[in-house]
Amino acid sequence: MKLVIAAVGQRQPAWADAAYEDFAKRFPPDLRLELKAVKAEPRGGKSAEQLMAAEAKRLDEAIPKGARRVLLDERGARLTTVDLARRLEFWLGDGRDVAFFIGGPDGLDPALKATADESLRLSDLTLPHAFVRIILAEALYRAWSLRNGHPYHRE
């Protein structure tokens, strides 16, 4: 099974890429974490709706067919680490890959949002995209470690 982070924006600071990779490499072979970064639509002369629609098409093409679709959105469900571990358990039982969508500067296209199986929030704050990738990778790793009795997470 794969956990796929589908994110708009290909170029992040080196420190962000290194931090993300540090968490991604910790996952076991049977639960891989993959980043699929897609190109942001060039700004200029296009409406926000046109930009989001173009980015949504790229995001949709980047994920595995049939994957569970999870939006990251400030209005999404607020979960604790224990709650996320339970969601991970459910996703593993479901057997489908899970794709997490991170929008571009204008957010996620409403048509893409309408296809979501669920929506999660990482914070009530708006976070920089580089941080979101790292925080999501760490939260998923922490959920996996809790589920597996690994000492990384402590209550």
Binding-site residues for S-adenosyl-L-methionine sit at 72, 103, 122-127
Q: DSSP secondary structure string, 28-48?
A: -TTSEEEEEEEPPPPPSSS-H
Sign of the C-alpha dihedral, residues 84, 87, 89, 95? negative
Counting Cα atoms < 13 Å in the Cβ hemisphere of 102 gives: 26
* Euclidean distance between CA atoms 100 and 120, whole angstroms: 9
Write out the binding residues: 72, 103, 122-127
Residues in the chain: 155
Per-residue DSSP letter, 107: B
Look up tokens 């979501």; give the residue: 116
